[in-house]
Amino acid sequence: MRLQDKVVIVTGAARGIGQAFALGLAKEGAKVVAADMLEVTDTMDKVKAEGGTIIGINVDVSHAGSTRDMASETMKEFGNIDVIVNNAAIWGGLKFKPMDLISEEEWDAVFAVNVKGVWQCCKAVVPYMKEQGKGSIINISSASIFQGIPLLGHYVASKGAIWAYTRSLSREIGEFGIRVNSISPGYTMTQASKNLSDDQEQLDYIYNLNIDQRIIKRAMYSEDLIGALLFLASDDSAFITGQNINVDGGSYHY
Ligand SMILES: NC(=O)c1ccc[n+]([C@@H]2O[C@H](COP(=O)([O-])OP(=O)(O)OC[C@H]3O[C@@H](n4cnc5c(N)ncnc54)[C@H](O)[C@@H]3O)[C@@H](O)[C@H]2O)c1
């Protein structure tokens, strides 16, 4: 198993892509910490049913105290932190909206979770990774930053920030043996994606547009991301840092 006994925190693990990450990591032997502001019971049940090791931690990634508690609880339970997957974000709950209909509160909330949240989580785990002299940070960005999808300006801008932050942080903490990379998923068929509009025609249009733009012409599912995740979490990528992997069926060549 590629991640035998590695301790991996997955934020936003209650559902969708984060839940698939927890399952994929546990199947490779990782001890998984499912961290979310929602209940993670469903994720824990699914991982345990497969014989995996998992604990759940309630966290709000946008609050420093909460992310510090997440890191210290993980240390208490498992004794180290090998990997963090910064997957939690405001995606579920968003609707396609022109720029003048995005409220200041909504813009700030998206940035507080999607950008500040990633920084807070990194800040919470990096001291432990430094002590270990090793660690892998995997930030979940989005292929929407290359496509520049309209009507979700705050979200796309927040994911662009994560792409840039990955590069900056990788240079800052590389000397401590900590690698920082990002994954940019294409449009993935989670429930959150299916709720982006109340207009089924608009959703169908987005669905077909995304498939048309791909080299591999099919819908994308959370499981499509597991290979890249395991690669970046494991020592297979030991000499790779500051990079982004697009997992989007070949939509963009960046
Ligand atoms: N689904 C897609 O098409 C797609 C494409 C590109 C990138 N992504 C990214 O992948 C990740 C997961 O997407 P998803 O489709 O599973 O979305 P989702 O909305 O289903 O999952 C997001 C998770 O983050 C959690 N979360 C939100 N705010 C939080 C906070 N403050 N503290 C802790 N947890 C919080 C939610 O409770 C939820 O469990 C997100 O980062 C998203 O931006 C998704």
Which atom of ligand 1 lies closest to the CA of 87?
A: 41
Q: Give the SS3 label for residue 183.
A: strand
pLDDT of residue 65: 98
Residue 155 appears among annotated catalytic residues? yes
Catalytic residue among 128, 155, 165, 187: 155
| pLDDT one digit per residue (tens) for the chain, 254 residues | 999 999 999 999 999 999 999 999 999 999 999 999 999 999 999 999 999 999 999 999 999 999 999 999 999 999 999 999 999 999 999 999 999 999 999 999 999 999 999 999 999 999 999 999 999 999 999 999 999 999 999 999 999 999 999 999 999 999 999 999 999 999 999 999 999 999 999 999 999 999 999 999 999 999 999 999 999 999 999 999 999 999 999 999 87
CATH number for the domain running over 7-187+223-247:
3.40.50.720
Q: Which atom of ligand 1 is nearest to the CA of 155?
A: 43
Query: CA 201 to CA 188: how far, in whole Å?
Result: 18
The answer, yes or no, to whether any atom of ligand 1 lies below 6 A from the CB of 62, is yes
Residue with CA closest to ligand 1 atom 7: 142
> 10 - beta bridge partners?
34, 85
CA nearest neighbour of 26 among 8, 14, 40, 45: 8
Q: Which of 91, 111, 214, 252 to mutate to test ligand 1, by most ligand atoms within 8 A of the CB atom?
A: 91
56 in contact with ligand 1, CB cutoff 6 A? no
- pLDDT value of position 177: 98
Packing angle, helices 117-132 and 64-78, rounded to 10: 30
Residue nearest to atom 13 of ligand 1 (CA): 17
